[in-house]
Structure 1
């Protein structure tokens, strides 16, 4: 076996049966979620879907700014100490406290930006206020559910998580169908259902997590220091990521209009077809690499290659038969052939860079995360000078700056790990 084929050989050692079961169930759950989103794109007005796109984009901003470095440190601690349940409970408490401290600092700017963007894109005052309240409720659900879900992944209780996700996704589809039949599907219900699903997921996740690690047992000073350091290192990068996401929406809002914002959101629905890969990355790839003690580089490349395969398939479909993907988003967006191809290409690049960065970051290697900022900003300026960012394709291209920034940071972390010997030693005997 040549060295070049070693990562492929490692794929044979993954827990194939458990991973395959997870992927099937995850595809069902995320497929139902994507279907609900596509139904909303089909059945809501372009104006309402433009507002929906803004809200869902800012939901991502809330997750990044109020969890980012704290979540990375939690995974790193679990990777080192699992299955010590008392340590998991202590780490969870330390991270929870840090996230609560971050919220009063991070939430007001996000909610303010949401309010301004919603008003600029035609939302009534009461609509903007209501949607901001929904965003606050979503933060609460993410605060309590995300840490518990990570514990379940480490404990290999993925089937429980998926059962809840499938049930809630099916419930959401039924609700969308009923609301459409009654003529009541609008921006309030579209966003409200997303928030309701997030809230309903919290209870089971938290209860099952407590059954595994128990209730809070206080926290250790060493955990608090590690979490605090991770937040400090990651916060500038998180702010940059949020800025990049918002600049796309802002550019389309200023130079185009709510219809192009809606088009961007509809095209983004196609990328939801890759959500099972996201779930697979967090449930399998991250824990595998976080807990690995040898053969790190080969495992790293094997996992990155594995998660890029579905995105490559999506790109092939977008190139050979774009009408298949356009049929999913509805007649309002039927003329976006070129945009769907650009979106698929960007999705492939983003998938590879996301996995490459998440694997090293969740291992606690975030010393070079700042590198994403100068590389990303420089690329962003270059793209803005060359491409018309007032179009959907141009706005999508702008997100490639995030990709290059993540790749630069991940590469720097791997080089640093190699220099300090963290990628070694090889296994004793046989193929490492």
Structure 2
């Protein structure tokens, strides 16, 4: 008993005991909150899948896909630039406020450009998939509130993340999820239309955005104005990232683009429904992006330290992926019942969709690690590599079918994983000891 007490005492006196204990608390809080957030999001998504007619859900999936592309171009590397600049001055309220103000000012300009480009494309694709002009316009307008709020979220979240003020951040995300579920539950039974579902997703983000700003305000000087010097530094990062962002506007959701052009609205709906299970990986993406990436950004520029952190992070991703794939394989029939009878025969396609999601999770985390240090892959190399991953499978698969489009996506995901993984370790290994 005495020996056991001595071991406990020695453990508590270890120099890293406090840091490990604090990290454990943060993981449990953030992980628990993210399970709730993603569960609410999943429930909202299932409600929409089951209550919208298949054709309407196909249009809803198209709208969400275009919003993802709009987000990529509307950000254009801004969030990376703001995080990179904010990490340098995160303990100075005035300077951190100037970084955020500069980012938000640039965000407004980028958002206008993104809307101007993508709204006409969205309207064309909706009409191509048998939507009326009125429906297409209503869906396009319904996207705008959620789009603006989501772009601001990406920048404002940087402040509490750098200060690891996680609990208020999680509470805000949970309240947004609850609000969204309530609105969808109240509207979808009465108005089973795609544009109502899009609007029901966007409105809660506006209220969440207002609360998020209040959370960030205690760490910044709200009176600061955009700084031309900071803007210049952010633009430098944007210039390196933007070409790749433009490319990924087209390639990031290539499966939806392809099946919406060569396939049918039903195929779009099936692909969107299966994607709901892969979206459960967002729990881990947010968890890692909230707790690990900011800490990685603040690490000393030392080869051994960064290598250790990178291996630790990707080992977590691999473990999560294996466990999730086993779960989906064992309970595939039960999971498909959740989606409804229209999707019950998609067992193999569901497993393939989740596998693609796991590979994309690893690729995304590799990318986050690189960008948090300001390391940006040469856009030309990125585009060439990903074009090969997107075009080569066209010669071997039938892209008018759901299975063919998923195989195309799998090959593309593998290429992205190899590129991003190789780059982060290449940059670390090049560091002088």
TM (norm. structure 1) is 0.89
- Equivalent residue number for residue 430 of structure 2: 419
- Equivalent residue number for residue 239 of structure 1: 246
CA 1:114–1:14: 2 relative to 1, 3 Å: farther
1:370–1:409 Cα contact (<8 Å) kept: no
2:46–2:338 Cα contact (<8 Å) kept: yes
Q: How many pairs does the alignment contain?
A: 411
Q: Does 1:249 align with 2:256?
A: yes
Displacement after TM superposition at 1:231 (Å): 1.2
- Equivalent residue number for residue 185 of structure 1: 192
Q: Distance in 2 between matches of 1:414 and 1:391?
A: 37
Displacement after TM superposition at 1:243 (Å): 0.6
- Equivalent residue number for residue 59 of structure 1: 67
- Equivalent residue number for residue 131 of structure 1: 139
Question: Which residue among 380, 402, 405 is the counterpart of 2:416?
Answer: 405
Q: How far does the alpha carbon of each residue in 1:153-195 deviate from its partner, in whole angstroms, 9 at most, with x for none?
A: 22222211221221222222233333345x3232132111101
CA 1:143–1:340: 2 relative to 1, 3 Å: closer
CA 1:297–1:380: 2 relative to 1, 3 Å: same
- Equivalent residue number for residue 321 of structure 1: 331
Superposition map of 1:100-139 within 5 A: 100-139=108-147
2:359–2:413 Cα contact (<8 Å) kept: no
1:90–1:219 Cα contact (<8 Å) kept: yes
Q: Does 1:79 align with 2:90?
A: no
**CA root-mean-square deviation:** 2.1
Superposition map of 1:252-263 within 5 A: 252-263=259-270
Q: Distance in 2 between matches of 1:399 and 1:80?
A: 37
Question: Which residue among 354, 375, 383 is the counterpart of 1:365?
Answer: 375
Q: How far does the alpha carbon of each residue in 1:85-134 deviate from its partner, in whole angstroms, 9 at most, with x for none?
A: 22211211222222223233322111111111111112211111111112
2:111–2:148 Cα contact (<8 Å) kept: no
1:244–1:399 Cα contact (<8 Å) kept: no
2:314–2:362 Cα contact (<8 Å) kept: yes
Q: Does 1:284 align with 2:291?
A: yes
Question: Which residue among 390, 403, 427 is the counterpart of 2:400?
Answer: 390
Q: Does 1:195 align with 2:232?
A: no
Q: Distance in 2 between matches of 1:381 and 1:387?
A: 11
Q: How far does the alpha carbon of each residue in 1:285-319 deviate from its partner, in whole angstroms, 9 at most, with x for none?
A: 21011111140111012112223433322211232
- Equivalent residue number for residue 231 of structure 2: 224
Bigger shift: residues 383-392 or 303-312: 303-312
Q: Distance in 1 between matches of 2:334 and 2:324?
A: 11
Q: Distance in 1 between matches of 2:216 and 2:49?
A: 35
- Matched residue SS, 2:76: helix
Displacement after TM superposition at 1:248 (Å): 2.3
CA 1:374–1:162: 2 relative to 1, 3 Å: same
Q: How far does the alpha carbon of each residue in 1:212-259 deviate from its partner, in whole angstroms, 9 at most, with x for none?
A: 212151344442222111111111111111111454223212322000
Displacement after TM superposition at 1:47 (Å): 0.6
CA 1:178–1:220: 2 relative to 1, 3 Å: closer
2:366–2:424 Cα contact (<8 Å) kept: no
- Matched residue SS, 1:399: helix
- Matched residue SS, 2:225: coil
Structure 1: runs of 5+ lacking an equivalent: 1-10, 425-432
1:234–1:370 Cα contact (<8 Å) kept: no
Q: Distance in 1 between matches of 2:424 and 2:169?
A: 31
Superposition map of 1:24-173 within 5 A: 24-173=32-181
TM (norm. structure 2) is 0.89
1:93–1:216 Cα contact (<8 Å) kept: no
- Matched residue SS, 1:212: coil
1:237–1:369 Cα contact (<8 Å) kept: yes
Q: Distance in 2 between matches of 1:14 and 1:318?
A: 33
